[in-house]
Amino acid sequence: MRLAIYPGSFDPITNGHLDIIGRASRIFDRLTVAVAHNSAKRGLFTVNERVELIRESVRAIGNVEVSTFEGLLIDYASDSGALAIVRGLRAVTDFDYEYAMHQMNSEMSPEIETMFLVASKEFSYLSSTIVKEFARYGRPVDNFTPPAVSEALLKKFGH
């Protein structure tokens, strides 16, 4: 059973994340989308809300499950028996941090591979932050997020 972990904040999940999930789920037997509990970073959505939004959005994909983790990703990946960590790369701005994290993780647990999937062209500019910014001021974001997320954003911002 080849398991991979796709970790992130997912505050909230966007079509860019969903694209990576679909592509990674075709490479591995099982994919766990893991929402990080980060006490230093308060999100718009609670971790539980993010999990629910991801669950709704990946329902049609059979081999994907959703979970949360606290602490170091590499420890979580190790304890789960994962073969790989999947990350998406959009632009060079993603690269420095991802490169450093990959080097550190492979020092700590060389048996766990980090796999980078390059963002599809149509999603390469898309981030949770930019979606929230537009939704906050009442712009519809239906083209950029799964339906459950557009609805949740409308509710959150009271539009």
Q: Closest distance between ligand ADP and the C-beta of residue 81, in Å?
A: 21
Q: In terms of CB distance, is 20 or 153 closer to ligand ADP? A: 20
Q: Determine which one of 90, 102, 109, 127 is catalytic.
A: 90
Contact 98, 87 (CB under 8 A): yes
Q: Determine which one of 25, 57, 128, 150 is catalytic.
A: 128
Q: Is 159 an annotated catalytic residue?
A: no
Q: Is 90 an annotated catalytic residue?
A: yes
Q: Is 102 an annotated catalytic residue?
A: no
Phi first, then psi, for residue 32 (nearest 5°) are -105, 120
Could you tell me which residues come within 8 angstroms of residue 65 by beta carbon, excluding any fewer than 6 positions away?
Answer: 30, 31, 32, 33
Q: In terms of CB distance, is 104 or 159 closer to ligand ADP? A: 104
Task: Measure the CA–CA gap between 52 and 46, rounded to whole angstroms.
Answer: 10
* Residue found by looking up tokens 């790369």 in the block: 89
Task: Measure the CA–CA gap between 88 and 84, rounded to whole angstroms.
Answer: 13
Task: Measure the CA–CA gap between 100 and 93, rounded to whole angstroms.
Answer: 13
Q: Is 136 an annotated catalytic residue?
A: no
Residue nearest to ligand ADP (CB): 16
Interface positions with ligand ADP (CB under 6 A)? 8-10, 14, 16-17, 20, 87-88, 90, 94, 119, 123, 126-128
Q: In terms of CB distance, is 83 or 119 closer to ligand ADP? A: 119
Catalytic residues: 17, 41, 90, 128
